[in-house]
Amino acid sequence: VTVATHQHGGDAASKAKAQTRLRKIEGQVRGLQKMIAEDRYCPDILIQISSTQQALRAVSKMLMRDHLQHCTTKAVRASDETAAEVYDELIDLMYTYSK
Amino acid sequence: VTVATHQHGGDAASKAKAQTRLRKIEGQVRGLQKMIAEDRYCPDILIQISSTQQALRAVSKMLMRDHLQHCTTKAVRASDETAAEVYDELIDLMYTYSK
Amino acid sequence: VTVATHQHGGDAASKAKAQTRLRKIEGQVRGLQKMIAEDRYCPDILIQISSTQQALRAVSKMLMRDHLQHCTTKAVRASDETAAEVYDELIDLMYTYSK
Amino acid sequence: VTVATHQHGGDAASKAKAQTRLRKIEGQVRGLQKMIAEDRYCPDILIQISSTQQALRAVSKMLMRDHLQHCTTKAVRASDETAAEVYDELIDLMYTYSK
């Protein structure tokens, strides 16, 4: 099992919380479609897109915290090699995929 | 009718394109829920969140272009007052709501 | 004179304000060098980098406001062609060069 | 010595590299002042601000890598408490201070 396919159960509570948020975000995306269909004022739609992006960022933050507490801890304590792998991934997530 | 409630039909083609993209984004958000349910590796989920955010950004860019071409042009040509209102909104969208 | 080389004097007051802010930013960048030379705690340096970026963003916002009020207004009122050019530039600044 | 004041020497080579980059960034900020003094076209100045921000981001990435390799590894291996402290800091750096 490599780091890339390693899984953790995370916190059942935090998983449920992420799902609730994602369902709300799904609703926001449907709301955006409705706003466009209704020909709403563009800046109002753009503000709603921004709000959807903020909501996704909150989910990302929650998952990142889980990732640090579980996978990162395990990898850093296992060996310098697995620590290096997990750090490369973190740097990518922070600087390539952030936002 | 104030600037805030002013509407424009936009381009029917660009409206259809935005709807297609938003439906795809809705699917991406459902995909994120599936990834969490399946206990997928956190960084993989985080990369998918980033991809969803990029997709929202592309819709935002498309709507902003419409907004400039239609509402902004009309407001700037109407008077210095309506121009100032539309610029305040643009500054907010760029620096407060951007991303 | 094309849009790309067109200049405007802007507001003398806002120009002076931008210069004051940039001198302060220059000092912040020298402060960062000092922090590294003194082997300060990395997260403290990272927070100072973030603060420098916020300060640059504030200058950018100020210049963007000038650009909208002066160049954009002139271009949008001149013709549909010069309006289109200035909008293409704005879209680039917002979505390619923003942050 | 708490985590907040803990220092590490980092890599002398990476420290020198960060200093070189910061001196170049200092020059870019002076260049921005010159552009404003010369009344250069706003979008050109805005693109240079964006370039300066990208350069700061590259320094941040370099320092973050050092921070992970040195301080984070030490804290994560020391105890669950020091690991939790360093993760809280990382989450802040990623989601509050990241640009």
- C-alpha pair distances (Å), B77 with each of B61, B70, B74, C71: 23, 11, 5, 13
Residue C41 backbone phi and psi in degrees, to 5: -60, 125
D79 inside 8 A of chain A by CB:
no
Of A6, A9, A30, the CB nearest to B26: A30
Structure tokens at D12: 């002398």
Helix runs in chain C, H state only: 12-37, 42-67, 73-78, 80-95
- C-alpha pair distances (Å), B43 with each of A7, B50, C21, D75: 10, 10, 39, 22
Task: Quote the CA–CA distance of C21 and C56 in Å, as a whole number.
Answer: 8
D26 and C23 in contact by Cβ < 8 A?
no
Q: Which residues of D touch A59 (CB under 8 A)?
A: none
Q: Which residues make Cβ contacts (< 8 Å) with residue B16, sequence separation at least 6?
A: none
- Give me the residues of A, 19-78, that contact B with CB < 8 A: 19, 22-23, 25-26, 29-30, 32-33, 36-37, 39-43, 45-47, 49-50, 52-53, 56-57, 59-60, 63-64, 66-67, 71
Residue C31: its H or E element = helix C12-37
| pLDDT tens digits along A60-78 | 999 999 999 999 999 999 9
Structure tokens at B79: 């008077």
ipTM of the complex: 0.88
Q: Could you list the pLDDT tens digit for every one of the 99 residues in chain C?
A: 344 444 555 678 889 999 999 999 999 999 999 999 999 999 999 999 999 999 999 999 999 999 999 999 999 999 999 999 999 999 999 998 875
Neighbours of chain D (3+ CB pairs under 8 A): A, C
pLDDT of residue A97: 86
Q: Which residues of A touch B41 (CB under 8 A)?
A: 4-7, 71
C57 and B95 in contact by Cβ < 8 A?
yes
Does pLDDT of A99 surpass 80? no
Residues of chain B with pLDDT > 70: what percent?
A: 89
A94 and D68 in contact by Cβ < 8 A?
no
Q: Judge contact between A64 and D64, C-beta under 8 A.
A: no
B93 and A46 in contact by Cβ < 8 A?
yes
pLDDT of residue C97: 86
What rounded mean pLDDT belongs to chain A? 90
pLDDT of residue C1: 37
